[in-house]
Structure formats: structure tokens, C-alpha cells
Amino acid sequence: MNIIETAIPGPLIIEPRVFGDERGFFMESWNAAGFRAADLDLDFVQDNHSRSSRGVLRGLHFQNPEPQGKLVRVVNGAVFDVAVDLRRSSPHFGKWVGVELSAANKRMFWVPEGFAHGFLTLEDGTDFLYKCTGRYAPEHEQSLAWDDPDVGIEWPLAGIVPQLSAKDQVGTSLADIKAFA
């Protein structure tokens, strides 16, 4: 696999080896030994799958305490996926990185603990899969405002009015969240 570092240390773009022919393709989306060899010794405890129509914006979510690292990918459709650094001790606190993930490009995105995560679906019927290093703990879940001007995410919204959950409509500002140390 090919690992691409992002502008912020921690999140990584992962391009798996894909073997294809006229019948289709094969790829390993997770192999503990392969990831460990790439210095990603991860212990996943939960797998999740969401389906969304075009224009759904989910996030920016995180848990503190009981944070989750997430290995995310798209198996149908496309998203613009974002990680925001919420580690107050980081020189990149409040900065974001984004990447397009799609069924076509087969890229994965590693979002480590200490980051908020969210995505905007770019196609109808988008299936989004993610492996988590921690259990879902709704009592610790927080939502960073997707449109916080202090973060300044450049969502690709041309022609899209984002559809948000009630929780995400009232996300907390960067200045008011319970960030990580």
C-alpha cells in the first residue's frame, strides 16, 4: 500500500494495492500485519456503515473522553472527507485536512484520536465504511460546527445545500469545544 502524509501530522491517505482485470478487482482493505509494517499498529473494536444521498453532511464528530481513531473508505459513491486537529498542544490545533474518497479511487483515510471527523457526500447512494479503535460512547460525543469560521473548511458545496442532522445543525464552535490536551 502507498501511504501519503497530509499537511497535518497524524491523518494519512492510504492507497491500497488493487489487482484488477476484465472480471473486476481485488484489494485488501485491512491487514493487521501490513498496517503494522507501515507503523500503524491499530486495534479496531467496531465497524460502521452509513449510506447517504448527495449533499448529506455528517460531522464534525469526536468523543472526549473515550476518543476513536477511524479508518474510513467509500465503497459506492464519493465523499469529501475532513479531519480537524483538536489537540490543544498541537501547533496545528484548529487546522483541517480534506480528501476525496470514492469507490473509483479506492483511497482510505486514517483519522487518529484527537481529531474531529466529518464528510460531505458528493453522489447519491454513497456507502461509507469505517473501522473504529474505540467503542461508540454517545455520552462523550461532541459535534464541532461544520461551518465554524475559525476552522474555515472549504467544503465543495457548488450546487449543494448541505443536509444536516439536528445534532450537527447546532455544532459547537472551536472556541467552546472540549478539546484534547
Q: Which of 49, 117, 130, 140 is catalytic?
A: 130
The Cα–Cα gap between 127 and 79 comes to 9
Burial 75-105 (b: 16+ CB within 10 A, else e): eebbbbbbbbbbbeebebbbebbbbbbbeee
Catalytic residue list contains 61 = yes
CA angle (45 as vertex; 11, 4 as ends), nearest 5: 20
H/E element, 21: strand 18-21
**Beta-carbon neighbour count of residue 62 at 10 Å?**
27
Write down the catalytic residue from 49, 61, 117, 140.
61
Active site residue ranges: 61, 130
